[in-house]
């Protein structure tokens, strides 16, 4: 793993940006974190994707707890999404090593583009 100088500071700033995105929008920190980890912190693509998943879990738990304590989260309503997400996460994790990074990076870019267009116009 090649890291740029000042990587602890850069890593903390990247994590902070992901945390802010999760706190503000209820998600999306990984979309910020993967590009920051690759371009700014010097991780390769696979490490950036895997690290993003490891970082986003506690951020999502924290954000969910804050929303729940403030009355903005209905766990029963969220349960079907959680089940689907767990299944999708398991399958994605199993397929991750087999995927070509060029195509995975392109799919990630399309997902970000879709989210941006949707946020701007719908």
Q: What residues make up the domain containing 117?
A: 7-121
Q: Is the separation of the CB atoms in 41 and 3 below 8 Å?
A: yes
**Does a structural domain hold residue 34?**
yes
Q: Is 97 helix (H, G, I), strand (E, B) or coil?
A: helix
**Does a structural domain hold residue 2?**
no
**Does a structural domain hold residue 79?**
yes
**Does a structural domain hold residue 50?**
yes
The predicted model scores a pTM of 0.70
Q: How far apart are CA 110 and CA 114, in angstroms?
A: 6
**Does a structural domain hold residue 60?**
yes
**Does a structural domain hold residue 25?**
yes
**Does a structural domain hold residue 1?**
no
What pLDDT score does 60 carry? 81
Which alpha helices (DSSP H) does the chain contain, by range? 7-25, 29-35, 45-69, 75-95, 101-121
Structurally, the chain folds into a number of domains equal to: 1
Q: What is the pLDDT along the chain (122 residues), one digit of tens a residue?
A: 555 545 788 888 988 888 888 778 767 788 888 889 999 888 998 899 889 888 888 888 888 888 889 988 898 999 999 999 999 989 988 998 888 989 988 988 898 899 889 889 98
**Does a structural domain hold residue 68?**
yes
What pLDDT score does 81 carry? 92
Q: Is the separation of the CB atoms in 29 and 56 below 8 Å?
A: yes
């Amino acid at each position: 793993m090649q890291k740029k100088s000042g990587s602890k500071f850069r890593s903390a700033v990247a994590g902070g940006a992901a945390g802010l995105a999760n706190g503000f929008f209820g998600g999306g920190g990984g979309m910020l974190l993967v590009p920051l980890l690759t371009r700014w912190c010097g991780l390769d693509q696979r490490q950036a994707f895997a690290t993003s998943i490891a970082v986003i879990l506690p951020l999502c738990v924290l954000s969910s707890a804050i929303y729940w304590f403030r009355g903005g989260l209905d766990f029963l309503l969220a349960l079907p999404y959680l089940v689907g997400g767990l299944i999708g996460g398991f399958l994605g994790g199993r397929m991750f090593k087999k995927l070509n990074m060029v195509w995975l990076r392109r799919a990630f870019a399309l997902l970000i583009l879709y989210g941006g267009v949707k946020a701007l116009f719908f």
